[in-house]
Every structure is written in structure tokens, then in C-alpha cells.
Amino acid sequence: MNLFVNTNFNFMGARKIAFGASIVLIVVGLISILGHRGLKLGVDFSGGVLLQVRSEQKIPTQEMRRVLGGMGLADAEIQQFGDEGEAIIRVRQERASPTLAADIVEALNAHDPQNRTELRRQELVGPKVGAELRTTATIAVIVALIGMLIYIWIRFEFMFGLGGVAALAHDVVITLGLLSLTNREITLQIVAALLTIVGYSINDTIVVYDRIRENRKKMYGKSLVDIVNRSVNETLSRTINTSLTTLLVLIALYFLGGEVIRDFAFALMIGIIVGTYSSVYIATPLVVDWQLAQDARRRSRLKAAATRA
């Protein structure tokens, strides 16, 4: 089903408004991150203990928090798994101890002896390992962006590479900002989601770039604005169909996939929406503005040379 066939939208005419909207989103995200004194790092990066426990009957979160509070763990994070009595408890490194898991299970069983609780999983991440993971994750995202720049530069032109990488950085920053606004943790799963977003977004951008390259030959003599508008309209149906079908899968994962992958699915949903938007309103408009600025400088030099003559 093609929802957008033979369209003739003037995308480039609204690029200044789109740039303004992107700047607002980025600034709001950065304010949120600074307001939280940085991103909310999960146990993966900050160090600590992750416990998965299962009770015969579900223990309400507030009740479980009171039990943990009695152990001096009031700041522990609790995530319930629906009605199945399973929960994930995250405890910061400074609160961890060798007997922490046994102590928590014992406290929960003592609180309600008729509702037995057992430990299903325990993961320990030291602060040094967390710092190393933080560095490795940051390097992975930067290397991915540099690799994309080189690839697009070789396949197209340098200005296309810059436009594509700027759009990817835009997608990552906005996604991180929205994760901060919704108070979600940055975990290894989120890093995997960010790298997936980078791959998805650049794929969409390259489809548009390819069509621009084809149309520059077919529409010789036309302005770059007209060529880009035609190219985006010609690929719009494919872009929307791909994004919508991917989004439907992610929505299903978000609501039905369980608590463990909910943040991962949320990050991908944001990334798919922002990535689709940026391939139309960030990557290609930057190429247009770059080219227009170069043309203006060229005309200025020619005019100055003619005046001197």
C-alpha cells in the first residue's frame, strides 16, 4: 500500500522551520541532562548489583520498597514484571555487599512468610568495569559516526557525508535528551539501540542521496532545491512505509515484550521517528544550504574579479 504517490511537497521550503524545531528539541534535551547532573547511568555503567527475584505472589512495589528501605536501600530501583511476581532490583555500588542478595531475599521472606521469594539472577558490575564500559560505548558511537562519514564521502561527496553525519549526531542527541526527559537509564541495551538508530537512519538518508544523484543527471539545469524536493517526494512512500512497519513492531515490543526490553524498544521508537524526520529535514537541507553558500561565494568572487577588471 503506497500512501504517498506522486506527491509534490515543498520540503526544502520549510527547512528553516525544521532547523528551529530541531534546535529547540536539542536544547530542551541538554537542559534536562544538565538538570539531572548528567545522564542517568544504569548499573552497567555506574557499577552496582542487579538482582532478579521471583515471589509466589506479586509484592506491590511500595511494599517492596518499604522492606528495602528498612535495610538502608531506600534508593534501590525496582522494576516489576507484570503480575507474575518477578522483579528486578538495582542497587548502587556503594550499597552493595557480598551478602546483599541473600539479605534481600531473607528480608522479603521474613516480611511475608506465606509468599516465598527466591533469587533468579544476580549480576555484579564493579565501578572500574562500569567506567571501561562507558568509555567503550562512547568510542563505539564515535567510531560509527566517523565510519559513516568516510563511507558517504567516498560514495557521494564530502558535503553529503557531513550532512549525513550531522543528521546522525542530531538523532543520537535528541534520543538521549528524550531518554533523560522520561528519566530512563542509559544501559548497554540503550547503547545497542543508539547504534541501531545510526544504522537505520543512515540507510534512509542514503536512499534519498542516491535519488538526488540520479535526478541531478536527469534534471540538469534545474536548481538543487528543485532536485532535492523531487527526490524526497519520490522516495517519500518508501520512507514512510518502512518507518511505519518498523514502528508497529517496536510498539508491539514496547507493550508486550516485557519490562526488560521496554527501554530498548522506547529508544528505538524515538530513534525511528527522529531518524525518518532527519533524513528529510536535516541531512538533505544541510547539503542544499552548503551548496547555496558555495554558489553565493563563487558569485561574489566573480563579481569582485569583474569589478577589478
Check residue 134 and give its pLDDT: 77
Provide CB contacts within 8 A for 21, sequence distance 6+. Answer: none
Q: How far is the C-alpha of 28 from the C-alpha of 143, rounded, in Å?
A: 26
Listed as ranges, residues in the chain with pLDDT below 50 are none
Ramachandran angles phi, psi of 270, nearest 5°: -60, -45
At 39, is the secondary structure helix, strand, or coil? coil
Q: What's the pLDDT tens digit per position in 156-172? A: 888 888 898 899 899 99
| Chain-centroid distance, C-alpha 21 | 17
Check residue 1 and give its pLDDT: 59
Provide CB contacts within 8 A for 42, sequence distance 6+. Answer: 90, 185, 186, 187, 188, 190
Q: Supply 252's cell numbers.
A: 508491539
Check residue 127 and give its pLDDT: 66
Check residue 2 and give its pLDDT: 61
Q: How far is the C-alpha of 235 from the C-alpha of 139, rounded, in Å?
A: 33
pTM over 0.85: no
In this structure, the dihedral spanned by the alpha carbons of residues 70, 72, 77 and 80, taken in order and rounded to 10 degrees, is: -20
